[in-house]
Amino acid sequence: MKKTYIQLLACLALLIATSTSCDNDFEEVNTNPNVPNTVTPDLLLPNIIRSTVNENMGTAWGIGNIVMQYTAKIQFVNEDRYLWGEQNGIWSTTYSTLREVQNMYNIASSTTPVQKNYQAVALIMKSWMMSLVTDAYGDAPYSEATKGKDKAYFPKYDTQEAIYNGILKDLADANALLAPENGVVNGDILYGGDVTKWKKMANSLRLRYLMRISNKRDVKADLQAIVSNPTATPIFTANVDNAALRYLATVPNQFPLYTSRVGSFDEFRLSKTLGDKLIQLNDPRLGIFARPTVASVAAGKPAYVGVPNSLDDVSALTYNGGAQNVSRVGSTYYIDGFGTPTEANLNIARGIIMTYAELQFILAEAAQKKLITGDAKTYYEKGITASFGFYGLEVPAGYLAQPDVVFAETKALELIGTQKWIALFYSGLEGWFDWRRTGFPAIKPGPSNLNQNRVPVRFQYPSSELSLNKASVEEAIQRQGPNDINTAVWWDK
């Protein structure tokens, strides 16, 4: 018995010695001195900006430009005929990226001193990203969207009204946090760390979203408070303030379409709706948005020809004698698929979040509706000038005096809406969102549309949500309406 006890003690001692030795070796082997154990906000910020802007631009190319009749398809025309199916890009990218946004905010909050500027940038990006989701889908996960670690595995769908309340609060909080003395913002591929421009972006977005819900709520006091105090709540004052990601000639910050196949790019052509309007106005922006037809250039008489939206496959491909006789999208957005993008083109082909031109049209509408003080005509003309300036153009002599451009009280909202629509060419999904609210310009479904002559007003919820978060999404559908592309969201009802 004594021998057994001694043997047991010996084994126990050996086990302790061995485990201690193994533990020490384990730490040495698994600690890599070349890999950081912590992440800082500047490492998270570039991809937060890039991934969401790129997804927004990609969705615009595939759906947004078509539904707003900036472009039309001549091949594989289902999207142009409103046979959309699921459009999950904005949803998936937003919710996967929101985790990084929350991480950036949490890290900035845990430092000493607190990195207030990073907190603010996180709130601004979260607000813009969630606006894309709710404007595209309606009710959506918001208050519980990034709380998986808190065991919120089946996040509830907040109402769009509640989401907008959160967006507007976060943007106001961001405005209060942002200040040059609150630290440097590294990793900022949008504004190069200029916190004053982030502050202008926050307040300009507030004006956009207040106007978005202006048919559902009295926003007059909130709009006027922002516009009246440029010191406390600065907004965009020129094109240099544009929230527009400048792309580079190489990855990772390369304009998304530069890697597309020529054939894929050329499936999209100038829409007859946009083309006819710009030709009517003798508008030089047409030469930025599109190219003369191949046949007309070969004949020595360059001409722009748009193709109607929502044609069937055969009619689309053979319209006006075929592809050589309809205009491709401007070379700015692709450089014909060859070579290195030029400096001038990179200045135009940007990942747009919001521009000074859009802001001026928002102010013009608000002034016309007496929601703010100010002259609607002045804002309207500044918006047109800013849009031309964005493309390096001057407003032609006589342009503003044309019957369909000159400001007139009797049709002011239509004029503002039409010029805003032109200015929002390939600006993400903003043209679609704004048209649903204002109804300007008149967008009519094409002859072979598959949606009973209705222009879609939202995206369907992803089927994955019906599988993984069924109770929450079904509650939202019961409250909002059928899960299809014709159910208007809260601010659109």
pLDDT in tens, 70-82: 999 999 999 999 9
pTM of the model: 0.92
SS3 352: strand
Helix locations, 350-428, DSSP H: 356-368, 376-390, 412-423
CATH of 41-256+346-492, one of 1.25.40.390, 3.90.1640.10, 2.60.120.10, 1.10.3720.10: 1.25.40.390
- Percentage helix, strand, coil, to 5, in the chain? 55, 5, 40
DSSP 340: P
Q: How many angstroms separate the CA atoms of 350 and 193, rounded?
A: 18
12: exposed, middle or buried (Cβ count in 10 Å: 0-12, 13-18, 19+): exposed
> Residue 147: what pLDDT?
82
Q: How many angstroms separate the CA atoms of 488 and 63, rounded?
A: 17
pLDDT per residue as tens digits for the range 379-436: 999 999 999 999 999 999 999 999 999 999 999 999 999 999 999 999 999 999 999 9
- The predicted model gives 254-282 an average pLDDT of 92
Q: How many angstroms separate the CA atoms of 256 and 262, rounded?
A: 13
pLDDT per residue as tens digits for the range 299-311: 999 999 999 999 9
- 339/262: higher pLDDT: 262
**How far separated are the first and last CA of the chain, in Å rounded?**
87
| Strands (E) located in 200-338 | 243-246, 268-270
Q: b/e string for 146-172 if b means 16 or more Cβ within 10 A?
A: beeeeeeeebbbbbbeebbebbbebbb
Q: Which residues contact 397 (CB under 8 A, 6 or more apart)?
A: none
Q: Name the amino acid, one letter, at 178.
A: L
Cβ distance 142 to 482 under 8 Å? no
Q: How many angstroms separate the CA atoms of 186 and 40, rounded?
A: 10
- Length of the chain, please? 493
Bond into 46 cis (ω within 30): no
Q: How many angstroms separate the CA atoms of 422 and 271, rounded?
A: 12
The residue among 188, 180, 197, 195 whose CA lies nearest residue 236 is 197
> Residue 8: what pLDDT?
43
Mean pLDDT of the chain: 91
**What does the block give as tokens for 219?**
């926003």
Domain extents in the chain:
41-256+346-492
**pLDDT at residue 33 is higher than 50:** yes
Largest interatomic CA distance in the chain: 112
Q: How many angstroms separate the CA atoms of 244 and 252, rounded?
A: 16
Q: How far is CA 41 from the centre of its chain?
A: 22
> Residue 254: what pLDDT?
82
Q: b/e string for 340-351 if b means 16 or more Cβ within 10 A?
A: ebeeebbbbbbb
Q: How many angstroms separate the CA atoms of 279 and 263, rounded?
A: 26
- The predicted model gives 131-139 an average pLDDT of 98
Q: How many angstroms separate the CA atoms of 135 and 348, rounded?
A: 26
Q: What radius of gyration do the chain's Cα atoms show? A: 26
Q: How many angstroms separate the CA atoms of 463 and 465, rounded?
A: 5
> Residue 418: what pLDDT?
98
**What does the block give as tokens for 105?**
């905010």
pLDDT per residue as tens digits for the range 326-364: 999 998 887 654 456 666 666 678 999 999 999 999 999
Cβ distance 266 to 334 under 8 Å? no
Q: How many angstroms separate the CA atoms of 121 and 106, rounded?
A: 12
> Residue 9: what pLDDT?
45
